[in-house]
Amino acid sequence: MADVGKIRIRLPSSIKAGDIVQARTLVIHPMERVERDAQGKLVQRNYSYIHTVTVTYLGKTIVTFETTQAVSENPFFSFSFRATDPGQLKIQFLDTTGGRYEGVVDIKFS
């Protein structure tokens, strides 16, 4: 579990001003699922799964994903945005145990 929170972000190798950019990201996370006992009652414990993913570009939020424990281990997300200016793309993952994981890439025009 040493890699928990490690983030990979993939962008096209060449980006020009005005391009619609397809970004892909993956975070290493166990995404524990909620369990029930034989009687169907929830097993009480502090489950750990990503519940919110927020993407900002140039300091403005461009997309937010809200998830549940039904998302698979090491979740993958894909989204598009228009590259208007060079700057920072930041992806933040929040989990139910207070974990906060961030990945940052600089958008550069070629």
For residue 79, is pLDDT > 70?
Answer: yes
Tell me if 54 is assigned to some domain: yes
- Decide if 95 is inside a domain: yes
Distance (Å, whole) CA 52 – CA 27: 12
Q: Grade residue 1 by pLDDT with cuts at 50, 70 and 90.
A: low
1, part of any domain: no
* Dist. CA 85–CA 78, nearest whole Å: 20
Instruction: Tell me how far apart the alpha carbons of residues 49 and 17 are, in angstroms, rounded to a whole number.
Output: 36
Among the residue ranges 6-15, 22-31, 67-76, the one predicted with the least confidence is 67-76
Split into its structural domains, the chain has a count of: 1
Quote the domain boundaries for residue 85: 7-32+44-107
What CATH number is associated with residue 53? 2.60.40.10
On whether residue 39 sits in a domain, the answer given is no
Give the mean pLDDT of the chain: 93
71 has pLDDT over 90 = no
